[in-house]
Amino acid sequence: MAIIGYARVSTTGQSLETQEGRLESAGVEKLYSEKRSGVDAVRPELRACLDYVRDGDTLIVTKIDRVARSAADFHSILKQLSDKGVSFKALDDPDADTSTRSGKLLIGILALIAEFENDIRKERQMEGIAKARAKGTKFGRKKQLTDEAIHSIASMREGGMTVPQIMQDTGLSKASVYRALANN
Protein backbone atom coordinates (compact mmCIF):
# COMPACT_ATOMS: atom_id res chain seq x y z
CA MET A 1 0.00 0.00 0.00
CA ALA A 2 2.10 2.84 -1.33
CA ILE A 3 1.27 6.52 -1.72
CA ILE A 4 2.16 7.63 -5.25
CA GLY A 5 2.23 11.25 -6.37
CA TYR A 6 1.84 12.91 -9.74
CA ALA A 7 2.74 16.53 -10.48
CA ARG A 8 2.44 18.42 -13.76
CA VAL A 9 2.94 21.95 -14.99
CA SER A 10 2.00 23.17 -18.43
CA THR A 11 5.11 24.96 -19.63
CA THR A 12 8.83 24.68 -19.23
CA GLY A 13 8.84 28.16 -17.62
CA GLN A 14 6.75 26.94 -14.68
CA SER A 15 8.20 25.17 -11.66
CA LEU A 16 7.21 21.77 -10.29
CA GLU A 17 8.78 22.52 -6.89
CA THR A 18 5.61 23.69 -5.14
CA GLN A 19 3.56 20.66 -6.19
CA GLU A 20 6.42 18.25 -5.47
CA GLY A 21 6.94 19.77 -2.02
CA ARG A 22 3.26 19.50 -1.12
CA LEU A 23 3.08 15.91 -2.36
CA GLU A 24 6.20 14.93 -0.41
CA SER A 25 4.70 16.55 2.71
CA ALA A 26 1.59 14.40 2.16
CA GLY A 27 3.76 11.28 2.47
CA VAL A 28 4.29 10.38 -1.18
CA GLU A 29 6.75 7.51 -1.49
CA LYS A 30 7.19 7.63 -5.28
CA LEU A 31 6.69 10.79 -7.32
CA TYR A 32 6.12 11.23 -11.05
CA SER A 33 6.48 14.75 -12.49
CA GLU A 34 6.43 16.29 -15.93
CA LYS A 35 6.25 19.55 -17.80
CA ARG A 36 3.53 18.96 -20.36
CA SER A 37 0.40 20.77 -21.45
CA GLY A 38 -2.78 19.39 -19.91
CA VAL A 39 -4.33 19.11 -23.37
CA ASP A 40 -1.44 16.92 -24.52
CA ALA A 41 -2.73 13.36 -24.79
CA VAL A 42 0.82 12.00 -24.59
CA ARG A 43 2.01 12.40 -21.01
CA PRO A 44 4.73 9.77 -20.48
CA GLU A 45 5.12 10.29 -16.74
CA LEU A 46 1.37 9.99 -16.15
CA ARG A 47 1.34 6.81 -18.25
CA ALA A 48 4.28 5.44 -16.23
CA CYS A 49 2.51 6.38 -12.99
CA LEU A 50 -0.73 4.65 -14.03
CA ASP A 51 1.24 1.57 -15.07
CA TYR A 52 3.15 1.55 -11.76
CA VAL A 53 0.31 1.79 -9.23
CA ARG A 54 -0.92 -1.45 -7.68
CA ASP A 55 -3.90 -2.74 -5.70
CA GLY A 56 -4.11 -0.89 -2.37
CA ASP A 57 -2.02 2.11 -3.52
CA THR A 58 -3.26 5.71 -3.43
CA LEU A 59 -2.54 8.23 -6.19
CA ILE A 60 -2.33 11.78 -4.88
CA VAL A 61 -2.27 15.04 -6.88
CA THR A 62 -2.42 18.64 -5.70
CA LYS A 63 -5.39 19.53 -7.94
CA ILE A 64 -7.68 17.46 -10.15
CA ASP A 65 -6.70 19.46 -13.24
CA ARG A 66 -3.09 18.32 -12.83
CA VAL A 67 -4.04 14.75 -13.80
CA ALA A 68 -6.76 15.17 -16.44
CA ARG A 69 -7.32 17.08 -19.68
CA SER A 70 -11.11 17.06 -19.41
CA ALA A 71 -13.92 15.58 -17.36
CA ALA A 72 -14.05 12.60 -19.72
CA ASP A 73 -10.28 12.10 -19.41
CA PHE A 74 -10.58 12.34 -15.62
CA HIS A 75 -13.31 9.70 -15.61
CA SER A 76 -11.19 7.42 -17.80
CA ILE A 77 -8.18 7.76 -15.49
CA LEU A 78 -10.33 7.10 -12.41
CA LYS A 79 -11.77 4.00 -14.08
CA GLN A 80 -8.23 2.70 -14.73
CA LEU A 81 -7.33 3.34 -11.09
CA SER A 82 -10.53 1.73 -9.80
CA ASP A 83 -9.99 -1.35 -11.98
CA LYS A 84 -6.56 -1.76 -10.38
CA GLY A 85 -7.88 -1.21 -6.84
CA VAL A 86 -6.13 2.16 -6.48
CA SER A 87 -7.60 5.11 -4.55
CA PHE A 88 -7.38 8.71 -5.78
CA LYS A 89 -7.01 11.88 -3.71
CA ALA A 90 -6.60 15.58 -4.53
CA LEU A 91 -4.96 17.71 -1.83
CA ASP A 92 -6.83 20.92 -2.75
CA ASP A 93 -10.20 19.16 -2.78
CA PRO A 94 -10.39 16.76 0.16
CA ASP A 95 -13.86 15.64 -0.97
CA ALA A 96 -12.29 14.16 -4.13
CA ASP A 97 -11.14 11.01 -2.36
CA THR A 98 -12.23 7.68 -3.79
CA SER A 99 -11.34 5.87 -0.58
CA THR A 100 -14.51 7.34 1.04
CA ARG A 101 -18.18 6.84 0.18
CA SER A 102 -18.82 10.56 -0.26
CA GLY A 103 -15.68 10.89 -2.37
CA LYS A 104 -16.86 8.08 -4.63
CA LEU A 105 -20.24 9.83 -4.88
CA LEU A 106 -18.59 13.13 -5.88
CA ILE A 107 -16.44 11.36 -8.46
CA GLY A 108 -19.52 9.53 -9.77
CA ILE A 109 -21.36 12.82 -10.19
CA LEU A 110 -18.37 14.28 -12.05
CA ALA A 111 -18.35 11.23 -14.32
CA LEU A 112 -22.08 11.63 -15.08
CA ILE A 113 -21.54 15.30 -15.90
CA ALA A 114 -18.71 14.34 -18.25
CA GLU A 115 -20.93 11.79 -19.97
CA PHE A 116 -23.74 14.37 -20.26
CA GLU A 117 -21.32 16.90 -21.81
CA ASN A 118 -20.16 14.28 -24.28
CA ASP A 119 -23.74 13.42 -25.29
CA ILE A 120 -24.60 17.08 -25.84
CA ARG A 121 -21.48 17.55 -27.97
CA LYS A 122 -22.41 14.52 -30.10
CA GLU A 123 -25.97 15.83 -30.58
CA ARG A 124 -24.68 19.23 -31.71
CA GLN A 125 -22.22 17.58 -34.06
CA MET A 126 -24.94 15.44 -35.64
CA GLU A 127 -27.20 18.50 -36.00
CA GLY A 128 -24.38 20.36 -37.73
CA ILE A 129 -23.75 17.45 -40.09
CA ALA A 130 -27.46 17.22 -40.94
CA LYS A 131 -27.61 20.97 -41.68
CA ALA A 132 -24.51 20.76 -43.87
CA ARG A 133 -25.93 17.80 -45.81
CA ALA A 134 -29.20 19.68 -46.31
CA LYS A 135 -27.17 22.52 -47.85
CA GLY A 136 -25.53 20.02 -50.21
CA THR A 137 -22.15 19.62 -48.50
CA LYS A 138 -20.43 16.38 -49.43
CA PHE A 139 -18.48 14.46 -46.79
CA GLY A 140 -15.61 12.04 -47.18
CA ARG A 141 -12.83 11.76 -49.70
CA LYS A 142 -13.31 13.13 -53.15
CA LYS A 143 -14.05 10.37 -55.65
CA GLN A 144 -10.84 9.48 -57.53
CA LEU A 145 -12.39 7.32 -60.22
CA THR A 146 -14.61 9.71 -62.11
CA ASP A 147 -16.09 8.64 -65.44
CA GLU A 148 -13.46 10.78 -67.15
CA ALA A 149 -10.63 9.08 -65.21
CA ILE A 150 -12.00 5.62 -66.05
CA HIS A 151 -12.10 6.44 -69.78
CA SER A 152 -8.61 7.94 -69.60
CA ILE A 153 -7.21 4.81 -67.90
CA ALA A 154 -8.92 2.57 -70.47
CA SER A 155 -7.40 4.65 -73.30
CA MET A 156 -3.93 4.42 -71.75
CA ARG A 157 -4.25 0.65 -71.45
CA GLU A 158 -5.52 0.29 -75.02
CA GLY A 159 -2.57 2.45 -76.11
CA GLY A 160 -0.20 -0.17 -74.72
CA MET A 161 0.69 1.26 -71.31
CA THR A 162 1.26 -1.20 -68.48
CA VAL A 163 -0.59 -0.96 -65.18
CA PRO A 164 2.56 0.33 -63.36
CA GLN A 165 2.95 3.03 -66.03
CA ILE A 166 -0.70 4.03 -65.66
CA MET A 167 -0.26 4.11 -61.86
CA GLN A 168 2.73 6.41 -62.17
CA ASP A 169 1.01 8.64 -64.74
CA THR A 170 -2.27 8.98 -62.81
CA GLY A 171 -1.02 8.71 -59.22
CA LEU A 172 -3.62 6.03 -58.51
CA SER A 173 -3.07 2.75 -56.69
CA LYS A 174 -2.93 -0.59 -58.45
CA ALA A 175 -6.35 -1.51 -57.05
CA SER A 176 -7.86 1.74 -58.38
CA VAL A 177 -6.40 1.18 -61.86
CA TYR A 178 -7.72 -2.39 -62.00
CA ARG A 179 -11.11 -1.22 -60.69
CA ALA A 180 -11.23 1.42 -63.43
CA LEU A 181 -10.34 -1.18 -66.07
CA ALA A 182 -13.04 -3.53 -64.75
CA ASN A 183 -15.66 -0.73 -64.80
CA ASN A 184 -14.91 0.25 -68.38
Q: In a 10 Å sphere around its CB, with 0-12 CB exposed, 13-18 middle and 19+ buried, how is residue 146 labelled?
A: exposed
- Cα 174-178-181 angle, rounded to 5 deg: 145
In whole angstroms, give the CA distance from residue 19 to residue 11: 14
Judge contact between 64 and 26, C-beta under 8 A.
Answer: no
User: Which position among 10, 70, 76, 152 bears the catalytic label?
Assistant: 10
**Do the strands 58-61 and 87-90 form a parallel or antiparallel pair, or are they unpaired?**
parallel
Q: Answer yes or no: 10 catalytic.
A: yes
Catalytic residues: 10
